[in-house]
Structure 1
Amino acid sequence: MAGSSEKAPDSGRGVVLMDNWPGYDLDLFTYPQHYYGDLECVLIPHGIIVDRIERLAKDIMKDIGYHDILVLCVLKGGYKFCADLVEHLKNISRNSDRFVSMKVDFIRLKSYKVFQDWAFLGSSGHPGTHSVDQAGLELIRDAPALLVLRLKNDRSMGEMQIIGGEDLSTLAGKDVVGTGRTMEALLSSIEKYKPNMVKVASLLVKRTARSDSFRPDYAGFEIPDVFVVGYALDYNEYFRDLNHICVINEHGKEKYRI
């Protein structure tokens, strides 16, 4: 992406794709045939996504790898990012002189208007199905390290419920990573239990007129205000099987509109 992107010096901005970045021609890549005619371009190829996540893992381990880590990921879209990032974190831990314990569980944040995708990577490895109230959050106290992960930032929430994550209460006093208005709402619930550290990681940060001043501690890519799908980002449950992050075209929007 030379000439059309730049890497900012801080991890909170990541690799910046400029507004005039045209993306890659679809004919240069393989992708599911059932999406032929539905996409405009490949914005970020899968290989670049994987390499960037590996670097994020190195940055995270450098900053908080002296603590055991609890990873909080928001479903549904965040699961792929979380799975790949945690695998890289584990690889780094296996090859270091200090073993870092990582627990994984999943949560979903729900409002009366929208659903936002987050996951809490916990020991069960399966999404929880119950609401977590203040009593459940109490166990967050004294957790060593919590890492909150988000896939992208272009939705906001009003009143919020935390659904799932049976071990959420074990985060107390741990180190945390998360992002956006939704992230601020989640962190406000977590911080009252005084975690040792709170960090936020987001694979994509979209530049929009609605963007607020909140920046993640770790960002994979900063992208223009375009409609992206793939790498577990869906449009009405389609495109989750697309490995690249692509821009959907008008035909695709209409085809999969509910």
Structure 2
Amino acid sequence: MSDVKVLIDKVTLDERCQELAAAITADYQASERPLMVGILKGAIPFMSKVLEYVDIPKAEVDYMRFSSYEGTTSTNTVRLLLDLSTNIEDRDVIVFEDIIDTGQTLEKLLELLNTRKPKSLRVVSLLDKPERRLVQVDADYVGFVVPDVFIVGFGIDYNQQYRTLDYVGIYQGNEEV
């Protein structure tokens, strides 16, 4: 695909997802029923791949959805579009995020979830782009640290396109990124 350059190939993604799953399994083996929260839409392929390898039979899954981007630009406004259907009070909660960029979405998400009194709250992110950080937030588990380029693939989109790529790539389209 000429407008996307491969940054992280399918095999490397799969290997890293297995490693993250092993760490999560080890950390939550004693948890009664941890809740895995996927942030729609971008984190779903990543979360699904990690959960293939997580060995915690009583883990549950739920989803949230936020909006903060238009095209390739952050709007600096975070809106909650879909909330959890699960009560997280006194639960171990693991949030799956596709990419931590400015940190604003994750900051708002963590503030909101902490008001609901979870037993523990951790974040697993496929990608971390620390050069773009406007607020200081960190993931507990990180797949890859990436440079300040516009990323697509493996769930991450540009105007709802490129999510279905089985790799992570650098968007090199005609539009200014």
Give the TM-score, by structure 1 length: 0.58
Instruction: Considering Cα pairs closer than 8 Å and 6+ residues apart, tell me whether 1 or 2 has the greater RCO.
Output: 2
User: Percent identity of the aligned residues?
Assistant: 30
Q: Quote the Cα distance in structure 1 between the aligned partners of 2:156 and 2:113.
A: 26
8 Å Cα contact 2:17-2:50 kept in structure 1:
yes
Greater share of strand: 2
1:206 to 129, 135, 140: 129
Asked whether 1:87 is paired with 2:35, we answer no
Q: Quote the Cα distance in structure 2 between the aligned partners of 1:159 and 1:227.
A: 19
Q: Quote the Cα distance in structure 2 between the aligned partners of 1:207 and 1:194.
A: 28
Cα deviation code 1:30-60 (max 9, x no counterpart): xxxxx3x212x31100110111011101111
- RMSD of the TM alignment (CA)? 2.5
Asked whether 1:237 is paired with 2:164, we answer no
Q: Matched residue of 2:105: which SS?
A: helix
Q: Quote the Cα distance in structure 1 between the aligned partners of 2:89 and 2:81.
A: 16
Q: How many residues align?
A: 168
Q: Which residue of 1 aligns with 2:91?
A: 174
2:62 to 98, 105, 112: 105
- Gap change, CA 1:171 and 1:157, over 3 Å in 2: farther
Q: Which residue of 1 aligns with 2:3?
A: 38
Q: Which residue of 1 aligns with 2:108?
A: 185
Q: Quote the Cα distance in structure 1 between the aligned partners of 2:27 and 2:130.
A: 26
Cα deviation code 1:115-152 (max 9, x no counterpart): 59xxxxxxxxxxxxxxxxxxxxxxxxxxxxxxxxxxxx
Q: Quote the Cα distance in structure 1 between the aligned partners of 2:113 and 2:171.
A: 36
CA shift at 1:210, angstroms?
Answer: 3.5
Asked whether 1:51 is paired with 2:8, we answer no
Of the structure 1 ranges 206-215 and 45-54, higher mean CA displacement relative to structure 2 is found in 206-215
CA shift at 1:241, angstroms?
Answer: 2.2
Counterpart amino acid of residue 193 in structure 1: R
8 Å Cα contact 1:160-1:185 kept in structure 2:
no
Q: Which residue of 2 aligns with 1:70?
A: 35
Name stretches of at least 5 consecutive residues in structure 2 with no aligned partner: none
8 Å Cα contact 2:3-2:171 kept in structure 1:
yes
CA shift at 1:157, angstroms?
Answer: 4.7
Give the TM-score, by structure 2 length: 0.82
- Gap change, CA 1:104 and 1:227, over 3 Å in 2: same
- Gap change, CA 1:190 and 1:223, over 3 Å in 2: same
